[in-house]
Structure 1
Amino acid sequence: MATDTSWVGQAMVQTVPWVRSMGLEFGEVTPERAVVCLPDDAEVHNHVGGPHAAMIFGLGETASGAITMAAFGSVLERATPLVVSSEVRYLRLARGPLTATAVLGRSAADVLAELDAGTRPEFTVSVVVTDADDRETTHLSVVWTLRPNRNHA
């Protein structure tokens, strides 16, 4: 049975002001893969005419968040997804509109099994950012956790 994840992009636009202000566009968003695009905008360029590194990181981190929401949105009432750490490698000068493609590093079922066992699971999301010519410009590795929510009696 497929899970409806069509809500993810719109939810992120509505709840994350930076996503809205940057005009990020959500393409495919599933529990296995998320694709998010950053339109080209001279207002966020760096000194060499491409998107500033912070914008590229934000795009990649947002794609990692989209796949996290798609994979674990069903447990938000009992766990909060949070970034633990991230690593970014800028491979070449990025120019023009960019596309970030995120992939979950382990099965959602394994992560949920850890959460169900009472632990605080961590999982890695790998992100590849490409330019309009489909050249890889940036790689990100974002480690997330599902922090169990405190029960308030």
Structure 2
Amino acid sequence: MTTDTGWVGSAMQQSVPWVKSAGVEFGETTPERAVAHLPDAAEVHNHVGGPHAAMIFGLGETASGALSLAAFGATMERATPLVVRSEVHYLKFARGPLSAEAVLDRPAADVLAELDEGKRPEFAVDVTITDASGRETTRMTVVWTLRPNR
């Protein structure tokens, strides 16, 4: 598996139209951690002037997707990463630009070993979303699977 993951951000923007239209930008992306940013824009605000919950969720899910792609992109010929379920906790009112940090809950090698055994592995990605001051506003977990291609 390659460790060069510099391609992930542009691949996400090209293959997931929402990412580009929402203006999501990518920071560090490795097989263990990915960071995504959502600039502040009035057109994504809710009725009280902060980013709409759907945008916050989308940012977190996108960060988890970038991590999944970085960790398992080399398996795309034999398996497709798909979201199974997610849980989100909106902790504090979010304002301004946001950053999402996604972290894999277990080693990618363990997930790949399950895939090699013929299983359909699931893995969780924990996401923390913060505002420009570094204040945690949202916490979420996105559970993914690697569905074997037929």
Q: Post-superposition shift, 1:78?
A: 0.1
Q: What does residue 116 of structure 2 align with?
A: 116
Give the deviation of 1:80 after TM superposition.
0.1
- Aligned counterpart, 1:56: 56
The yes-or-no answer on 1:35 pairing with 2:35 is yes
CA shift, 1:25, in A, is: 0.6
- How far did residue 100 of structure 1 move? 0.1
**For residues 30 and 68 of structure 1, what CA distance do their matches in structure 2 show?**
9
User: What CA distance in whole angstroms lies between the structure 1 residues aligned with 2:49 and 2:23?
Assistant: 19
Could you tell me which runs of 5 or more consecutive residues in structure 1 were left unpaired when the two chains were aligned: none
Q: Which amino acid aligns with 2:7?
A: W
Q: CA deviation at 1:84?
A: 0.2
- What residue number does 1:81 align with? 81
**Which has the larger displacement, 118-127 or 2-11?**
2-11
AA partner of residue 124 (structure 1):
A
Shift of residue 31, structure 1, vs aligned partner:
0.3
Query: Do the aligned partners of 2:12 and 2:19 also contact (CA within 8 Å) in 1?
Result: yes
Instruction: Give 1:107's aligned amino acid.
Output: P
Q: Is the Cα contact below 8 Å between 2:2 and 2:74 reproduced in 1?
A: no
3-state DSSP of counterpart to 1:19: helix
Q: TM-score, normalised by structure 1?
A: 0.97
Say which SS state the counterpart of residue 54 (structure 2) adopts.
Answer: helix
5+ residue gaps, structure 2, are none
SS of the residue aligned with 1:106?
A: coil
CA distance in 2, matches of 1:44, 1:100: 16
AA of the residue aligned to 2:105: G
Instruction: List, as ranges, runs of 4+ consecutive aligned residues in structure 1 with deviation greater than 2 Å.
Output: none
User: Which residue type is aligned with residue 14 of structure 1?
Assistant: Q
1:7 maps to 7
Tell me the amino acid that sits aligned with residue 34 of structure 1: A
Q: Give the CA deviation at 1:5.
A: 0.4
Corresponding residue for residue 107 of structure 2: 107
Give the structure 2 partner of residue 46 of structure 1: 46
| 2-structure distance, mates of 1:74, 1:2 | 7
* Alignment coverage as a number of residue pairs: 150
Q: Deviations over 1:67-123 (max 9, x none)?
A: 000000000000000000000000000000000000000110000000000000000
Structural RMSD (CA): 0.9
TM-score for both structures, normalised by structure 2: 0.99
Q: Percent identity?
A: 75
- What is the CA distance between 1:2 and its match in structure 2? 6.5
